[in-house]
């Protein structure tokens, strides 16, 4: 066997070992990510204040903070732009983990940030100063 063949053989062996190690690391990382959301919804609610979506298992209705007195689901004017972005950022800072699909400007000047992808909260209320004041 020539020196060139020996070097190529060692390179192939090293490359194969590196590929196996990388595959194991990816598998372990994927497993860790997949199992990270398997904690009980009570623990998740305590840790992040958000109750993750669990199909077929609705969460009890809970109100926190100030809910506008005349609020009804679907009220307000859907907005976009800077104000909507600021309201969304404020809501996600306090209740991370959901997906905001719309922001509505309410008649009292507050914002209703509508969150999906979680069991709770569904509506996050943000003041005109972009501070979270309540959720339901």
- The model scores a pTM over 0.85: no
Number of domains in the chain: 1
| SS3 category, 62 | coil
Tell me what the pLDDT averaged over the chain comes to.
78
How does pLDDT run across 79-126, given as a tens digit for each residue?
A: 999 999 999 999 999 989 889 999 999 999 999 999 988 888 889 999
Q: Is residue 90 situated within a structural domain?
A: yes
Q: What is the mean pLDDT of residues 33-49?
A: 41
Q: Is residue 16 situated within a structural domain?
A: no
H helices of the chain, in order, are 3-36, 41-48, 82-94
Q: How many angstroms separate the CA atoms of 113 and 123, rounded?
A: 6
Residues 6+ apart with CB under 8 A from 85: none
How does pLDDT run across 60-76, given as a tens digit for each residue?
A: 778 889 999 888 888 99
CB distance 136 to 123 below 8 Å: yes
Q: Is residue 6 situated within a structural domain?
A: no
What is the extent of the structural domain holding 127?
53-135
Q: Is residue 87 situated within a structural domain?
A: yes
Gap between the terminal Cα atoms of the chain:
75
Q: Is residue 123 situated within a structural domain?
A: yes
């Amino acid at each position: 066997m020539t020196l060139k063949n020996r070097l190529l053989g060692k390179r192939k062996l090293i490359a194969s070992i590196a590929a196996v190690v990388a595959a194991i690391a990816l598998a372990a990382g994927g497993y860790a990510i997949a199992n990270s959301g398997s904690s009980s919804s009570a623990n998740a609610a305590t840790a992040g204040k958000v109750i993750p979506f669990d199909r077929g298992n609705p969460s009890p209705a809970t109100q926190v903070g100030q809910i506008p007195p005349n609020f009804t689901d679907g009220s307000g004017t859907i907005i976009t732009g800077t104000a909507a972005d600021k309201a969304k950022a404020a809501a996600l800072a306090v209740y991370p983990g959901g997906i905001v699909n719309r922001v509505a400007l309410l008649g009292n000047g507050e914002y209703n940030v509508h969150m999906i992808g979680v069991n709770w909260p569904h509506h996050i209320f943000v003041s005109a100063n972009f501070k979270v004041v309540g959720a339901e």
